[in-house]
Structure 1
């Protein structure tokens, strides 16, 4: 019992549109099933007892995905803007042109590419010409981020753009409370203390002294979502629980700000990272890929850092 099911039953004494018997479906959780009847509880709490003699068919229904997993890829990716407040943005229909105004070090692809998800409100080749012009004006190589396997990706490829070849990633989501429960108790009291620094809606956690921490991570709250970025541990300090400690501190802070959903990007070719986040309750929502005009050049001066 406890299985979600849908049961089709006959409505005795009533006639259907075709003149034959009338039927109706009951969707809910099966509470009981015996030799004579089944008891189904609907989502609104109403309990419906159905005589087995009236049952035409019945089948189990897969659990409905959590609300966060039903968010569109475009809306999920829009939360990444909170990590980089110094990014200039401009709409292109549902697409978003993004460019760092004061970059430091390598250009980040997510902060210096067009989020090409949804309808650009014009033919894709025309939209891509606008993208190229936008980045040319700023002295940047044009770059678009698409959802892997989407219609937009197919249209971008058909317009002559090619995959960058690096940076393919998946966006993973999880419940903040679930991840915090999944973290080991030692994460809240690591052998190497971690320090939290907060600036507005963003936070940085680091472990170790000096300007070269042995572990660190960044987070930014956007509404009731929090993004995690750059969670790293020095190779010589791994397997000491520092990664979990960094995550625990960041999510503890985020929960105090009202965050309910956590997101992050994981490189597609990073099975170790995927295993770590999966153990904490994260699950892949979608994957994305970057495209450039024509064949990508290994000598490109464009964004190369995830």
Structure 2
């Protein structure tokens, strides 16, 4: 995959498609996403398309939108934001920077063959997979209900995967395939099973699933200060494509 700005912008669109909110509002080129406050990606403004209204008024209107839903106002700042100076404008309004994150890519040529580990794959969301994800991620019941709706909203080809050791689920994650690209999400290993290469093998199985169905490349997102995950993804052949972060104004009653 050639890393032109146009190509990377398409990857950004896929990241939004593959992590769906519960509802969306379009506002003069900006996409406002809402999901009961579960995850910043699904509860933030995506200013990725050209707009025509006064940007200062638009920011205030977005704040009113989120405040009326008792949510913090969050803007996702990528290399594709419109207008280009919105990060500076938000800084002047007192917004703080949260969770600098790196989007990484790799081709699926010369994909390593995974080891024959105990893998289970479902192409539709199941209660069992969701149970294991929530258990490994310490997701509470209220957030589980929100996550269930979010995942059911995904309109691309999905793959929900678990890896078991001695009949115990030790790792899980999911992939979404669209436009020849498979995105990896919620890759997690139980603490007692880490540093055993399980996540690496599970990801290889996910990538082979995608490649067999036409994927030519893959993306994932990793928080910049997550050194263990970055080491794993580097070993798997992923390289940095672009960085984003969130600008956050905390909700106060």
Q: Which runs of 4+ in 1 moved over 4 A?
A: 209-212
Q: Distance in 2 between matches of 1:85 and 1:285?
A: 22
Who is 1:125 aligned against?
56
Which of 213, 220, 229 aligns to 1:273? It is 229
Who is 2:128 aligned against?
none
Please tell me whether the aligned partners of residues 200 and 232 of structure 2 are also in contact (alpha carbons under 8 angstroms).
no
Quote the RMSD (CA, aligned, Å).
2.9
Who is 1:285 aligned against?
241
**Which runs of structure 2 are paired with 1:85-104 in the superposition (5 Å)?**
85-100=20-35
Who is 1:197 aligned against?
122
- Deviates most, 113-122 or 227-236: 113-122
Instruction: Give the gaps of 5 or more residues in structure 2.
Output: 125-155
Q: What TM-score, normalized to structure 1?
A: 0.63
Please tell me whether the aligned partners of residues 161 and 173 of structure 2 are also in contact (alpha carbons under 8 angstroms).
yes
CA drift of 1:73 comes to: 4.9
Which of 65, 85, 101 aligns to 1:151? It is 85
Would you say 1:71 and 2:6 are equivalent positions?
yes
Q: Distance in 1 between matches of 2:197 and 2:4?
A: 28
Who is 1:228 aligned against?
184
- Structure number with greater Rg is 1
Who is 1:11 aligned against?
none
Who is 1:107 aligned against?
38
Q: Distance in 1 between matches of 2:43 and 2:167?
A: 27
The one-character-per-residue Cα deviations of 1:207-256 (angstroms, maximum 9, x if unpaired) are: 22899731111111122221101111123222332112211221122123
CA drift of 1:151 comes to: 2.9
Q: Distance in 2 between matches of 1:242 and 1:124?
A: 47
Who is 1:173 aligned against?
105
The one-character-per-residue Cα deviations of 1:257-288 (angstroms, maximum 9, x if unpaired) are: 32222111111101221121112221111111
Q: Distance in 2 between matches of 1:203 and 1:242?
A: 17
Please tell me whether the aligned partners of residues 98 and 113 of structure 1 are also in contact (alpha carbons under 8 angstroms).
yes
Q: Which has the higher contact order (CA 8 A, sep 6+)?
A: 2
CA drift of 1:175 comes to: 1.1
**Which runs of structure 2 are paired with 1:233-244 in the superposition (5 Å)?**
233-244=189-200
Q: What TM-score, normalized to structure 2?
A: 0.75
Who is 2:218 aligned against?
262
Who is 2:70 aligned against?
139
Instruction: Name the one with the larger strand percent.
Output: 1
Please tell me whether the aligned partners of residues 222 and 230 of structure 2 are also in contact (alpha carbons under 8 angstroms).
yes
Q: Secondary structure of the residue that 1:269 maps to in structure 2?
A: coil
Q: Distance in 1 between matches of 2:94 and 2:167?
A: 41
Instruction: Name the one with the larger helix percent.
Output: 2
